[in-house]
Amino acid sequence: MARDILKEDSTGLSLTAKIFNILREDILNGKYAEGEKLGEAKLAEELGVSRTPVREALKQLELDGIVENKPNRGVIVLGISKQDIEDIYTIRAAIEGIAARWAVERITEEELNELKETYELMEFYTFKNDVEKFAELNTKFHETIYKATKSRYLEQVLKDFQYYMKKTRRKSLQVEGRIKESLEEHKVILDAFFKKDAEAAQNALTIHVENSRKNVEQNVKNQNN
């Protein structure tokens, strides 16, 4: 059954952008495995659209580096490599602390309340041990901070990183004890925001990213053993 992606919504996205988002989500969630071929005709039929927007979406995915158009083979899924993950965490560690500092200085009361409400929901789902919901709220918590920086460039870069880390984050949070540790780290970040302590927020968020990196690296190592 074709997906109803032509339904009108408030996003204002073009058809190509909608298809791009759907295919990117499917790749990152593992629907299409690394090395799998993505055929234009098959995707167009599945999505209920013509081949032209599918072709354009695949070109955008190639620019993002998660598929590759190989001669005589077609478009092949690359996914997110171990090196990609290492690079993303290195860059996040360098700039996410800056985002926290700017956000403390620029956050609105509404955004601060949103941050608090998101944390409280994270607390609830930690008690329920619901990794999927916690991971979703974790992304929202960080994106609220990015929005609060009032820097559209920094926000876009960090939101992209959050998006590409979704699958890795879920696996990482399944490591015993990590979800509770992550909740505690977010509480330190939240407290710094309410104290309006930019330096404490920067340090807390940087430490959180470094701890996340270590946990992911350990998780990858365990999978390879």
Domain shared by 101 and 47, yes or no:
no
Regarding whether 183 and 143 lie in a shared domain, the answer is: yes
Domain shared by 51 and 146, yes or no: no
Within a domain: 93? yes
Structural tokens at position 212: 């996340």
Residue 4 lies in a domain: no
User: Are 69 and 87 in a shared domain?
Assistant: no
Domain coverage including residue 55: 15-77
Residue 175 within any structural domain of the chain? yes
Q: Based on the domain organization, do 72 and 129 belong to the same domain?
A: no
pLDDT level of residue 1 (50, 70, 90 thresholds):
very low
Whichever domain contains 73, its CATH number is 1.10.10.10
| Better-predicted residue by pLDDT, 80 or 214 | 214
Let me know whether 124 and 201 are in one domain: yes
Closest CA to 58 of 73, 72, 76, 45: 76
Q: How many domains, in total, are found in the chain? A: 2
Amino acid at 168: T
Q: Are residues 194 and 115 in the same domain?
A: yes
Q: Is residue 2 assigned to a domain?
A: no
- Residue range 203-214: mean pLDDT, rounded: 92
Q: What is the pLDDT of residue 142?
A: 96
pLDDT for position 105: 96
Residues 108 and 193 in one domain: yes
Which residues of 41-175 form beta strands (DSSP E)? 67-70, 74-77
Is the pLDDT at 133 greater than 50? The verdict is yes
Confidence of residue 60 (pLDDT cuts 50, 70, 90): very high
Residues 47 and 112 in one domain: no
8-12, 108-112, 161-165, 179-183, range with the lowest pLDDT:
8-12
Place of tokens 């952008």: 17
| Sign of the CA dihedral running 189, 193, 197, 198 | positive
**Which long-range contacts (C-beta less than 8 Å, at least 24 apart) are formed by 154-161?**
154/95, 154/98, 154/99, 154/102, 157/95, 158/92, 158/95, 158/96, 158/99, 161/88, 161/91, 161/92
- H or E stretch at 38: strand 37-38
Cβ-based neighbour number of residue 195 at 10 Å:
11
Residues 107 and 215 in one domain: yes
Residues of the chain with pLDDT > 90, as a percent, come to 61
d(CA 223, CA 120): 32
Residues 187 and 129 in one domain: yes
Q: Check: CB of residue 144 under 8 Å from CB of residue 115.
A: yes
3-class DSSP assignment, residue 176: coil
The structure's pTM equals 0.78
10 part of a folded domain: no
Identify the CA nearest to 107 among candidates 176, 194, 213.
194
Pick the closest to residue 37 from 65, 76, 78, 79 (CA basis). 76
